[in-house]
Amino acid sequence: MEALIWIGLTALAIALPFIYPRWRLRRALARPLPAEAEAVLQRNISVYRHMPAELQQQLRQLVVQFLHQKKFIGCAGLEVTDEMAVTIAGQACLLLLNRPSKVYPALHTILVYPSEFVAQRAEVGPGGVITPGRQSMLGESWDDGRVVLSWEDVRRGAGDWTDGHNVVLHEFAHQLDSESGRANGAPYLGDPASYADWSEVLSRHYDNLRMRAMYRMETVMDPYGATNPAEFFAVATETFFEKPYQMAEHHAELYAEFLKYYRVDPRQWMSPPPPPAPPQQPVSFAYGW
């Protein structure tokens, strides 16, 4: 009998580290997002107000899980408030709607600076010579489970949902991308048959962006996406959520691939942009002298 008790206690001790976090998560998910936190989503993420009720509900649930599982650390003297955490979580979780995936399973910490921060960067020069350097950054995504953000730019990105720039969407797209092994512009797509179309369409539009960036032609996407395939995926994600009409018009096949991947159509909660202003008629002056 005593032996059985010992076996039972040992089994419990082994299982507890696995059972306890799940129990805590279930308990956290059973509670709705507090009203003050939803007010932050309403106030700071303008598109939230226009989303269908069912997606709002999903987003609130994802935010609860995100806030429960991830740690926020303020840097350079910043104290991370609930408002900051909810504003970041709300935008990050937009990328997870309608998807069966977990909530950024590899991510554990979000570091938040008050504004742009300086990161150490090694520059690889001709002949492979590595020179240490410093670079000013709005955000960074690391595949060791960290995302670094500038709060000033988080707030600016959340406030303007039409300019195609959003540092949270950008950095969390990198997180999704790195879930497939390494960030290379090909996130985990589920069905292996999907990769051929994804690769063909993204490569073509990436090459097109590189060409247009090289000749300084007008682009729907930020030319920064021409840096490499990983940046292209992150920038295209920003464009998909912030300029869906323009992307669907100018990059229809790419938009179709992103519709399949993100499983939402942001046009559902956004109005089409106003038509471009007609060219100004030359003003003629009647000089009376």
- Contact footprint for Zn ion (CB under 5 A): 231, 234
Min CB(170)–Zn ion separation in Å: 6
Q: Which is nearer to Zn ion, 51 or 247 (CB)?
A: 247
Q: Which is nearer to Zn ion, 62 or 147 (CB)?
A: 147
Q: Which is nearer to Zn ion, 231 or 242 (CB)?
A: 231
Q: Which residue has the tokens 């000089």?
A: 287
Min CB(164)–Zn ion separation in Å: 14
Q: Which is nearer to Zn ion, 65 or 141 (CB)?
A: 141
Contact 141, 178 (CB under 8 A): yes
Token reading at 149 = 């953000």
Min CB(225)–Zn ion separation in Å: 9
Contact 185, 202 (CB under 8 A): yes
Cβ-proximal residue to Zn ion, closest one: 234
Min CB(2)–Zn ion separation in Å: 60
Contact 116, 154 (CB under 8 A): no
Q: Residues with Cβ < 8 Å from 123, sequence gap 6 or more?
A: 130, 131, 132, 133
Q: Which is nearer to Zn ion, 148 or 248 (CB)?
A: 148
Nearest to 66 by CA among 86, 44, 80: 86
Min CB(52)–Zn ion separation in Å: 30
Contact 165, 157 (CB under 8 A): yes
Q: Is 288 left (phi over 0), alpha (psi -120 to 50) or beta?
A: alpha
Q: Which is nearer to Zn ion, 199 or 227 (CB)?
A: 227
Min CB(238)–Zn ion separation in Å: 10
Min CB(60)–Zn ion separation in Å: 28
Q: Which is nearer to Zn ion, 222 or 231 (CB)?
A: 231
Measured between its terminal Cα atoms, the distance across the chain in Å is: 117
> DSSP characters for 48-84?
GGGS-HHHHHHHHHHHHHHHHH-EEEE-TTPPPPHHH
Nearest to 210 by CA among 195, 196, 231: 231
Min CB(233)–Zn ion separation in Å: 9
Q: Which is nearer to Zn ion, 38 or 231 (CB)?
A: 231
Q: Is 243 in a helix, a strand, or coil?
A: coil
Cα(190)–Cα(173) distance, rounded to whole angstroms?
16
